[in-house]
Structure 1
Amino acid sequence: MSNDTLLVRKDDLHTTRLHGAAEQPLADGQVRVRIERFALTSNNITYAAFGEAMSYWQFFPSGEEGWGIVPVWGFATVSQSLHPGVAVGERLYGYFPMAASAVLTPERLSPERFTDGAPHRSALPAVYNQYLRTRTDPLYSAGTEDLQALLRPLFLTSWLIDDFLDDNDFFGARPGVALLSSASSKTAYGTASQLARREGIEVIGLTSAANKAFCESLGCYHRVLAYEELGEVAADVPCVYVDFAGNGALRREIHTRFTNLKHSASIGGTHVDQLAASGAGKSLPGPRATLFFAPAQVKKRSGDWGPAQFGQRMVQAWQAFLGQVADPKAPWLTAQHHTGPAAVQAAYAEVLAGRGDPRVGHILTLTPGNP
């Protein structure tokens, strides 16, 4: 059986090709999973844009020089197993290649999860190597798989950004302002939904004029401004900046305008063409822009609270957020499905270009007939 995979040129993310290869036999202790649905968001473009710097290309090596496989979050079912602890038919949530199937080497099994023990993944962040068994996963619900694939990994980052800022008392910017760029993005509005609960912080979303009404409709920002309206915020207000776009020109404008900027966090790089400019942090006035790395905050808080309390807090926050997003009277997000290799390739090009309705989330499958 062929395993269709979308390959991306590492030095030109706009260049892709579909690759079909015969599935290789399993070794003892391995399982093969059929990847039935995965989300594609600007977060995955960030994985590709930082593929070399942050080792994202290393999770699923393509085996072809210059070509990479973008990691995605989604659901898969075990289709073949040579591991006594994992049964055919078991459903998993986790980090997969943009492919029709994948081979995993389960280790450190528990009723809730297991880790992929493939040697090439051993030095990579553990949070990406864990596969959750849906029958015991407290965040899982069968009727919301699309929203889970689209929002769950992003919301974890959002929740951790909020916690990180509060843990550091907003670096002296409370009372003050939190400025969030790319306010229509899922990670940004997830962060805003958490920050809005903090006393003494005004959450201001920055977005394009075209997306301003959408961001205002969410109700999680105290104010929404188009980028050209940045001058409406007092230049001397104590503030933190959370950059979800990687837009170098905007970052320079914020660092130059705000004389009381306390912290500048870089979360993503969806403006691929401006990544080089966004990296020029040394020449900017104010605090040096710092890349936020979610696994580091996971490690810290797991130590502070213990794994059980960390998980409990995460579940409570996720369920509250999902209730907001899935409100039947005014849903924040609806899923659009793309099935088959050509449709996946086209959807990738659309997300890379930043086109589309922010209320629409892309759910993809390379295997016809799914999800």
Structure 2
Amino acid sequence: MHTAQFQIRKNQLPTSRLVSLPEEPLAAGEVRLRVEQFAYTANNITYAAFGDAMNYWQFFPVPDDADGAWGIVPVWGFGVVEQSRCEGVAVGERLYGYWPMATHAVLQPVRMTPEGFLDGAAHRAALHTIYNQYLRCAADPLHDPATEALQALLRPLFLTAWLIDDFLADNAFFGTCESGQRGVMLLSSASSKTAFATAAQLAKRPQVEVVGLTSAANVAFSESLGVYSRVLTYDQLEVLASDAPCVYVDFAGNGGLRKAIHSRFANLAYSCSIGGTHVDQLSGARDLPGPRPVLFFAPAQAKKRHGDWGAAEFNQRMARAWHSFIAQVSQPDAPWVKVQRHQGPDAVAAAHALVLGGRSDPRLGHMLSLQDR
């Protein structure tokens, strides 16, 4: 038996390879899972773009890669236990969690509960718990077999979006809503799933105006969602008053756009860096007028709110918001996401190139599997 891994060059993201590795016997306490299906979105491109800075490459290190040139992009999806040498994890169990782009994964379950467990592998010990947790589908209150694809595509993005909204509100929108005025929340890459999930949360807050920034090709889609107060193309910043009190929520990572926003808006109160969907236009944040861009790390806000509210209240609030969001996304007459499936190594490589190049229809949600048909 062999495990196939889809690997990409860390400093040249379009370059990929498929590597076949022999399966090693399981050690005591380990389980081997078949990675059945996983989502691939702009969020995964962000994992690759910030792989070194935010330790994403460390979750699934490439074996025998002496110069560290190759990496495995982490993905969210579903796996099924094929072999188990761990008491409490049964063959056939279905799990939701963070996987390598591969046909199989080996985990070392620790801190087991009826709801799930953590991977206790030594190389993941210093990495954040939110990425090391695996949930048993049979006990997961958010799991619905009928909407597994939407869960894989949107659940991790939604959690980030929900925490961005909470972070902004927790900081009183950085003073942009004082004296009864509406603060302007500028969201780049407005058609991306994390951006529109964030907009869906912010749209419920009357004290802010949510402005989506996107390419001309994606204006109609972004407007159709009904979560943006208005949608502008990247070259329409002059439509907004230069003295508007605003916050920039940057999903694109486009250095030129960031500089244009920092230069135009005299009352830019905060610059929040989320992602890097424009991978060919990423740049640093030096010598910018206005506030220094700050990278948002969702687990840090999650940890804060666990302390503020407790785990049970955190989970209840998140679950209520999730179910409300899924109802919006799944409107029968106008669904926000249409699932497109890609099976096999060649299809996975093609989907990677499509998402990386930003050429995908924003309404499509790509579900991938390296498993043979």
TM-score by length of 1: 0.98
Runs of 4+ residues over 4 Å off in structure 1: none
Out of 322, 343, 351, the position equivalent to 1:347 is: 351
Say if 2:98 and 2:132, in contact at 8 Å, map to a contact too. Answer: yes
The match for 2:133 is 130
Report the Cα distance in structure 1 between the residues aligned to 2:10 and 2:187, rounded to whole angstroms.
28
Is residue 2:342 matched to residue 1:335? no
Q: How many aligned residue pairs are there?
A: 366
The match for 2:362 is 358
Report the Cα distance in structure 1 between the residues aligned to 2:184 and 2:367, rounded to whole angstroms.
34
CA deviation digits over 1:55-99, x for unaligned, max 9? 110000112231110000000010110001100000000000000
Is residue 2:271 matched to residue 1:264? yes
One-letter amino acid of the counterpart of residue 48, structure 1: A
The match for 2:293 is 289
The match for 1:212 is 219
Report the Cα distance in structure 2 between the residues aligned to 1:68 and 1:181, rounded to whole angstroms.
27
The match for 1:201 is 208
The match for 2:75 is 72
The match for 1:298 is 302
SS at match of 1:328: coil
Percent of paired sites with the same residue? 64
Report the Cα distance in structure 2 between the residues aligned to 1:356 and 1:185, rounded to whole angstroms.
10
The match for 1:150 is 153
The match for 2:184 is 177
Report the Cα distance in structure 2 between the residues aligned to 1:302 and 1:288, rounded to whole angstroms.
27
The match for 1:34 is 34
Is residue 2:233 matched to residue 1:226? yes
Say if 2:189 and 2:277, in contact at 8 Å, map to a contact too. Answer: no
Moved more, 56-65 or 148-157: 56-65
Out of 309, 315, 331, the position equivalent to 1:311 is: 315
SS at match of 1:108: strand
Report the Cα distance in structure 2 between the residues aligned to 1:282 and 1:228, rounded to whole angstroms.
22
Deviation for aligned residue 1:39: 0.4
SS at match of 2:112: coil
Q: Which runs of 5+ in 1 are unaligned?
A: none
SS at match of 1:19: strand
Report the Cα distance in structure 1 between the residues aligned to 2:213 and 2:279, rounded to whole angstroms.
18
CA deviation digits over 1:284-311, x for unaligned, max 9? 1111100000000000000000000000
Report the Cα distance in structure 2 between the residues aligned to 1:203 and 1:61, rounded to whole angstroms.
39
The match for 2:24 is 24
Deviation for aligned residue 1:188: 0.2
Deviation for aligned residue 1:15: 0.8
One-letter amino acid of the counterpart of residue 213, structure 1: A
Is residue 2:57 matched to residue 1:50? no
Aligned CA-pair RMSD:
0.7
The match for 1:114 is 117
Report the Cα distance in structure 1 between the residues aligned to 2:49 and 2:286, rounded to whole angstroms.
20
Report the Cα distance in structure 2 between the residues aligned to 1:223 and 1:48, rounded to whole angstroms.
31
Q: Which runs of 5+ in 2 are unaligned?
A: none
Moved more, 17-26 or 308-317: 17-26
TM-score by length of 2: 0.97
The match for 1:253 is 260
The match for 2:4 is 4
SS at match of 1:228: coil
One-letter amino acid of the counterpart of residue 36, structure 1: E
SS at match of 1:364: strand
Report the Cα distance in structure 2 between the residues aligned to 1:46 and 1:356, rounded to whole angstroms.
16
One-letter amino acid of the counterpart of residue 286, structure 1: G
Report the Cα distance in structure 1 between the residues aligned to 2:280 and 2:336, rounded to whole angstroms.
28
SS at match of 1:362: strand
SS at match of 2:4: strand
The match for 1:91 is 94
Deviation for aligned residue 1:199: 2.2
